[in-house]
Amino acid sequence: MNLILFEAPFEQLKLSANDPRTRHILTVLKIELGGVFYIGFVNSERALAKIETIYEDGSILLTIVERMASPPCLPIDLLIGMPRPHTAKRILFEAACLGVSRMHFFQSDHTEPSYMRSRLWQEGNYKERLLLGAEQSFTTHLPEVLLHTNFQEALSQINTATGSHIDIALDNYEAKHGLGFLLKKRVSDQGINRPHIFLALGPERGWSSSERALLVNNEWGLAHLGDRVLRLEMAVVSAIAITADVMNLWHGGTDSSL
């Protein structure tokens, strides 16, 4: 991990010897007494922390040396047909790394119903994947995760979104344009600046005919990611990266080349 996340801000904090973070700081990062390293507070600031004291029992006292801002989430929401739990774990981690705002998982017509009953969702284990993704990408802001019983329910929540937004679904079979092209076209056609982007991806077995009809009726654009059929987790990463680059979202949109 590239920083260690804490739930609540502090100025000083004592960590016990058996706290996994203590072991990571001392044995993996090999930070010594007086040494500094990066931490973060969930959905708040990053900070530079120093080991103030190492006690005889192995516990440590941390002191905040400096605070700094952490990059916010990208204005991107994902709608994802509920995948297998193993695949969902990868998506949660990678999407948190890349910094989407929200992930809407929905029960699709082609989704095995038992996936929604997985411990990943029922016991809240998915939150660990978000934390790991944020720690890997040196950020503190976590995506919001929402579960929907069907695609119509997910779309209904999206339809209540305020402000300008662009809605595009990934589809290998019906789409005529690549994602980058369609994003630029929708921005041009709608004459909007810095919209929020909603990207929908079907489950691992693809969209059903009724779900495609819902997309068309709700005026979602259909786009592809090229000629190859990608695994769902790879399609998620590719779609986020293309969207962020085309919409000039990296580094706060400071690249003037677009």
Q: What is the pLDDT of residues 106-152, one digit of tens each?
A: 999 999 999 999 999 999 999 999 999 999 999 999 999 999 999 99
DSSP bridge partners of 13 = 62
Distance CA 54, CA 146 (A): 41
How high is the pLDDT of residue 109? 93
pTM of the full structure = 0.92
Cα-based distances in Å from 137 to 74, 93, 112, 222, 255 = 13, 10, 32, 30, 20
How high is the pLDDT of residue 101? 97
Distance CA 160, CA 183 (A): 21
What does the block give as tokens for 224? 């592809």
Of 73, 207, 241, the C-alpha closest to 145 is: 73
Distance CA 201, CA 94 (A): 15
Residue 216 CA, chain-centre distance (Å), reads 26
Mean pLDDT of the chain: 92
Distance CA 211, CA 193 (A): 29
What does the block give as tokens for 36? 């500094």
How high is the pLDDT of residue 190? 81
Of 80, 95, 180, the C-alpha closest to 129 is: 95
Please report which residue ranges of 81-208 form alpha helices under DSSP H: 85-98, 119-122, 126-136, 151-159, 179-190
In this structure, how many other beta carbons lie within 10 angstroms of the beta carbon of residue 189? 10
Under the banding of pLDDT at 50, 70 and 90, the label for residue 251 is: low
Of 79, 95, 105, 74, the C-alpha closest to 195 is: 74
Contact 200, 220 (CB under 8 A): yes
Q: Which amino acid is at 67?
A: R
DSSP bridge partners of 127 = none
Judged against a pLDDT cut of 60, whether residue 52 lies above it is answered with: yes
Under the banding of pLDDT at 50, 70 and 90, the label for residue 170 is: very high
